[in-house]
Amino acid sequence: MKRDTPFTLLTNGTALSWADVPEWPLAEFLRNVGAELGRGERLSSFFGVPEGDALRLVAVLAFDAGNTLAVGRSQSFSGSFPALTATHAQAHLFEREIWEQHGVVPENHPWLKPVRKDHGAGPAVGDFFRVDGREIHEVAVGPVHAGIIEPGHFRFQCAGEEVLHLEIALGFQHRGVEEAIAGGPHRATVYQMETVAGDTTIGHATAYANALEALAGTEAPLRAQWLRAIALELERLANHTGDLGALAGDVAFLPTASACGKIRGDFLNLTALLCGNRFGRGLVRPGGCLLDGDTERLSQLRKRLETALAEVQQAAAWLWDAASVRTRFEHTGHLHAKQAAAIGLVGPAARACGLVRDVRFDHPTGWHRFAQVPVSVWPDGDVFARARVRWLEIQRSGDFLREQLDAVPEGETMSSLPALAPNSLAVALVEGWRGEVCHVALTGADGKLRRYKITDPSFHNWTGLALALRGQAISDFPLCNKSFNLSYCGFDL
Amino acid sequence: MSVHDTLLNRLKRGCETMAYPKGPAPALPDRHGGALKVEAAKCDASCSACVTVCPTEAIARPAGKPVALDLGRCIFCAECVTVCPTKAITQSNDHRMAVRQREDLVLGDTGKEQVRLAQALDEKLRRLFGRSLKLRQVSAAGCNACEADTNVLGTIGWDLGRFGIQFVASPRHADGLLITGPVSKNMELALKKTYIALPEPRIVIALGACAIAGGPFIGHPQHHNGASGLVPVDLFIPGCPPHPLTILDGLLRLLDRLGESDARR
C-alpha cells in the first residue's frame, strides 16, 4: 500500500544510506512525525544522534496496515525542541530518554523526569505525581521486591484500597548497553545483545543479527532463518506457559501454577536441546546460527514438543474451567483499546485490547515471510484477555512448530558476514514474546556502529500497566503486574 | 471439567519431584556447556588464540606464567575450547562449579586445572543453617536469566523447600543474600541496605558471571563488576546463567547436604 508521506519507506530488516533518510528542519520534522502519529501510525523508535555538540532526532514509524516502516530525521540543533508528548502520548518516554541521553529539552513535556538515572548519582526515583486529600495515602514498593524478581520502584496514590494513580520508576538495572555498543561491533557485543533481556535472548539476538546482516547487505542462510523462527517460538512457549502458571499462582489456583512451572522448564529444555543453553545463548549470530539440528535431534525435539504441548493444554483447561479463576481475571486491570493505541502498546498486551499488531504478521522478515502465524486477539483489555491471548499464542506457536518441524529446509546455517556498509541505517523488528523488539543501527564513515538504539517492548508497555491499575484495588497489583510481565533490564538497558 | 477431574489428574501424575540428590542427577542436554578444565602444561607458549577470542577477558597469559582462565569471568561461550590447538582447554558436561574462594575459580596451573569445589560452612553455621536456610534475593542489574533459573528451583520438579531452603520476602527474615547481576550503580544503595538489614550471622551468595565479575558487561562504568567489592561473598556459582542443577549443587554443597551423591561421581 503506497500512500503519500514525506518519510522514506523501508521494509523490516533492511538498510538504507544515511543520506537517503529525508532531513528536515527541526520544526518540520516534528510536524511530519506528529502528522503520522495523528493518522494513527506507531512510533517504533525515536532517538537522538549526536553530531559534534549538536543533535539530530531520528524517528522510525511503523505503518502497520501498510506493512512498511518509515524513517526521517531532523537537521542538527541544540538547546530544546517542542515536545511531541503534549499531543502524542506515544512519544512520552522517548522524549524523556532523549533529554536524559543528550541534554536537549523537550519543551512543555508534561512529565519530564529521568528514565534510568538521576543526573547526580542515585537511582531514578524523584518527585512523584501526588494526589492530595485527607483520604489519600501513598504506598511505596521496591526497588527490591518480595521474590526473585528484578528491581523497580512503584509509587501508588491510593484512596483506601483504590489506586488513583501509579507511577513506575525504573532505571535500577541500567548497565549502559547502548553506550557499550558504540564504535562496535566489539567482541562482547553479541553476548551483550543476548542479555539485553535474558528471557528474550532469541528475540534480541535475532534483531541484532538482522540489523547487522542488513548493513552488510547479506542475509542469513534460509536454514538459519528457519532455526531462528523455531527458537523464537520456543522462547514464546516457555514464557507464555510460565506466565499462565504465574497468573494462576497469583489467584491461588495451584494445579495450573505448579503444572505450568514444570512445563515451562520443559520448553526451556527444548531450546537447550538445540543449543545447550536453556535461554538460547550461543545460537543466533550475525550471519546465521552457530549450531544446527541434525535429524535425530529435530525428531526428538518434535516428540518432546508434543508431550509438553499436551501437558500445557491440560493445565490450561483446568485454568479456564475454574469459575474462581474467571471471577478474579475478568474486569481486573482493564485497559481500553483507545488508551492502548495512544500509548503505543505492543505485543500480547496490545492484542489483548483488540489491537491487531504483531511484527510476524505486519512486518514479516526472515522465515516469517514464508510461514505466517495468525495474530491472536482478544477484545476485553483485562487480565483475562491478557491470559487468553497468551493461551491462543501457545496454540499458534505449537501449530507453527509442528508444521515447520515437518518440513525442514536444507542447507548451511552459517555464512560469513561481509563488512558493514558505512553511513547506513538499518531497522530490525522482531516479535519477541513480550512484543516488538526494535533495533536501529547506524554506521559511521568507518563502517563501525556509530549509534545503536534498542527499544524493548517493555519500554512501550510499562505505561500500560500504570494505566491498567487506575481504579483497581491495590491488592490486585501483583495480578495486573503478572499479566503484563514486563522486563526491567530490557527497559533500563 | 470439575474440581474432581483436576484433583484426580494431579493424583495420577504422582510425585514429580526429582530423586536427586538421593538418586541420580537429572540428565543435562548433550550440548550443555559445563565446567571447563585448563591444563596449562599442554599449552603452546607461543599461542594466544584463546586470549584473543574471549569476550570477557577471562583468559590471561601473564609474562613468564602459564595461561590462566578465570571461570568467574567466563560466560561459557566455549570459543576458547574451539580455538585451542593443543586441547589445553576442554569443557566437560559437569554441572558442579560452586566455590568458596574467588581464586578457586582461576584455572590453569599445575594442581589447579579444575575448580576447587566449595567446602561446607563451618560447623557452627551448618548447625544454624543446615536444615533451614532462608534467603533474600537481590537482582542488581541481572538480565532475568539467573533469576529465572533460580525461580525454577521452587517448581515441583526441583522443590527447593524439601531442603529447608526458601526465598523470603524480607531481609529481616533471611539468613543469607543471593545476588544476581553485576550490581549497577543504581542498585548499590539498595544492595548495601539489604545486606545490613540481614541479621547476623549472614551469608552471601554471588550467582552467575555478572554477580561474580561483571559478566558480558565486565569493565563498564555503570556497574561494579559484581558484588565482591561491596559485600563479603561466601559462595560463588559461575555460569551465564548457571543451570538450576549447578545452583542447587552449590547450595547443597555449602550446607553439606549432598551426601553420597557427590561421592558417587
**Nearest chain B residue (CA) to A243:** B148
Domain membership of residue B207 (yes or no) is yes
Give the residue numbers spanning the domain of A102.
8-107
User: What would the pLDDT profile of A19-42 be if each residue is shown by its tens digit?
Assistant: 999 999 999 999 999 999 999 999
Residue B119 pLDDT exceeds 70: yes
Higher pLDDT residue, B27 or A237?
Answer: A237
Q: Three-state DSSP class for B235?
A: strand
Domain membership of residue B55 (yes or no) is no
Question: Can you tell me the distance from the alpha carbon of B56 to that of B24, in angstroms, rounded to the nearest whole number?
Answer: 34
Question: Can you tell me the distance from the alpha carbon of A169 to that of A465, in angstroms, rounded to the nearest whole number?
Answer: 12
- The residue with cell 535472548 is A201
Q: What is the pLDDT of residue A234?
A: 97
B19/A contact by beta carbon, under 8 A: no
Residues of B with Cβ-Cβ distance to A274 under 8 angstroms? 31
Interchain proximity B16–A262, CB inside 8 Å: yes
ipTM reported for the complex, 2 dp = 0.92
pTM metric for this prediction:
0.95
Q: Residues near A262 by Cβ (< 8 Å), separated by ≥ 6?
A: B16, B155, B156, B157
Interchain proximity A276–B29, CB inside 8 Å: yes
Interchain proximity A172–B184, CB inside 8 Å: yes
Q: Residues near A414 by Cβ (< 8 Å), separated by ≥ 6?
A: A221, A224, A285, A287, A288, A289, A290
Amino acid at A204: H
Backbone φ and ψ for A16, nearest 5 degrees, come out as: -145, 165
Domain membership of residue A482 (yes or no) is no
Q: Look at residues A177, A290, A184, A188 and name the one whose alpha carbon lies nearest to residue B55.
A: A188
Domain membership of residue A247 (yes or no) is yes
Q: What is the pLDDT of residue A124?
A: 60
DSSP one-letter string for A73-97: EEPPB-SEEE-STTT-GGGHHHHHH
Question: Can you tell me the distance from the alpha carbon of B130 to that of A94, in angstroms, rounded to the nearest whole number?
Answer: 50
Q: Look at residues A132, A408, A184, A59 and name the one whose alpha carbon lies nearest to residue B55.
A: A184
Q: What is the pLDDT of residue A123?
A: 62
B56/A contact by beta carbon, under 8 A: yes
Question: Can you tell me the distance from the alpha carbon of B227 to that of B204, in angstroms, rounded to the nearest whole number?
Answer: 9
User: What would the pLDDT profile of B199-248 be if each residue is shown by its tens digit?
Assistant: 999 999 999 999 999 999 998 888 899 999 999 999 999 999 999 999 99
Pairing of strands B36-38, B89-91: antiparallel
Which regions in chain A score pLDDT beneath 70? 1-2, 118-126
Minimal Cβ distance to B221: which of A146, A176, A195: A176
Per-residue cell: A330:
475478568
Residue B265 pLDDT exceeds 80: no
Residues of B with Cβ-Cβ distance to A326 under 8 angstroms? none
Interchain proximity B217–A176, CB inside 8 Å: yes
Domain membership of residue A278 (yes or no) is yes
Q: What is the pLDDT of residue A375?
A: 95
Backbone φ and ψ for A144, nearest 5 degrees, come out as: -80, 130
Domain membership of residue B191 (yes or no) is yes
Query: What is the arithmetic mean of pLDDT over B161-174?
Result: 95
Interchain proximity A198–B146, CB inside 8 Å: yes
Residues of A with Cβ-Cβ distance to B3 under 8 angstroms? 322
B192/A contact by beta carbon, under 8 A: no
Domain membership of residue B111 (yes or no) is no
Question: Can you tell me the distance from the alpha carbon of B139 to that of B147, in angstroms, rounded to the nearest whole number?
Answer: 7
Q: How far are the Cα atoms of A101, A104, A228 from residue A114, in angstroms, in the given order?
A: 9, 13, 36
B33/A contact by beta carbon, under 8 A: yes
Q: What is the pLDDT of residue A2?
A: 57
Which positions 64-93 of B are in contact with A (Cβ < 8 Å)? 75-78
Peptide bond into B244 cis (omega under 30): no
Residues of A with Cβ-Cβ distance to B141 under 8 angstroms? 172-175, 489, 492
Q: What is the pLDDT of residue A122?
A: 54
Say whether both A103 and A209 belong to one domain.
no
Question: Can you tell me the distance from the alpha carbon of A102 to that of A90, in angstroms, rounded to the nearest whole number?
Answer: 20
Q: Three-state DSSP class for B196?
A: helix
Domain membership of residue A465 (yes or no) is no
Which positions 105-124 of B are in contact with A (Cβ < 8 Å)? none
Residue that finishes a domain, picked among A369, A404, A423: A423
DSSP one-letter string for B62-100: -TTS--EEETTT-----HHHHH-TT--EEE-S-----BS
Contact by Cβ (8 Å): A318, B6: yes
**Nearest chain B residue (CA) to A490:** B143
Interchain proximity A191–B216, CB inside 8 Å: yes
Contact by Cβ (8 Å): A104, A110: no
Q: How far from each other are the two terminal CA atoms of chain A, in whole angstroms?
A: 35
Q: Look at residues B255, B257, B237, B231 and name the one whose alpha carbon lies nearest to residue B128.
A: B255
Interchain proximity B139–A151, CB inside 8 Å: yes
Residues of A with Cβ-Cβ distance to B31 under 8 angstroms? 272-276, 291
Look at chain B and report how many structural domains it folds into: 1
pLDDT band at B264 (very low <50, low <70, confident <90, very high): very low
Domain membership of residue A309 (yes or no) is yes
Residue that finishes a domain, picked among A423, A448, A478: A423
CATH number, domain containing residue B208? 3.40.50.12280
Interchain proximity A198–B241, CB inside 8 Å: yes
B143/A contact by beta carbon, under 8 A: yes
Interchain proximity B145–A199, CB inside 8 Å: yes
Residue B18 pLDDT exceeds 70: yes
Look at chain A and report how many structural domains it folds into: 2
Query: Hey, CA dihedral for B128, B130, B136, B139, is it positive or negative?
Result: positive
Contact by Cβ (8 Å): A287, A414: yes
Interchain proximity B141–A172, CB inside 8 Å: yes
* Chain A nearest C-alpha distance from B148 (Å): 8
B104/A contact by beta carbon, under 8 A: no
Domain membership of residue B243 (yes or no) is yes
Say whether both A264 and A386 belong to one domain.
yes
Interchain proximity B187–A151, CB inside 8 Å: yes
Q: What is the pLDDT of residue B7?
A: 79
pLDDT band at B44 (very low <50, low <70, confident <90, very high): confident
Q: Three-state DSSP class for B177?
A: strand
Q: What is the pLDDT of residue A125?
A: 65
Question: Can you tell me the distance from the alpha carbon of A413 to that of A171, in angstroms, rounded to the nearest whole number?
Answer: 38
Residues of B with Cβ-Cβ distance to A174 under 8 angstroms? 141, 184-186, 222
Residues of B with Cβ-Cβ distance to A190 under 8 angstroms? 55
Mean pLDDT, rounded, of chain B: 90
Domain membership of residue B106 (yes or no) is no
Say whether both A247 and A371 belong to one domain.
yes
CATH number, domain containing residue A211? 1.10.645.10
Question: Can you tell me the distance from the alpha carbon of B120 to that of B106, in angstroms, rounded to the nearest whole number?
Answer: 20
Domain membership of residue A475 (yes or no) is no
Q: Which residues pair with B37 in a beta bridge?
A: B90
Residue that finishes a domain, picked among A89, A107, A125: A107
* Chain A nearest C-alpha distance from B184 (Å): 6
Say whether both A245 and A351 belong to one domain.
yes
* Chain B nearest C-alpha distance from A377 (Å): 25
Say whether both A319 and A216 belong to one domain.
yes
Domain membership of residue B2 (yes or no) is no
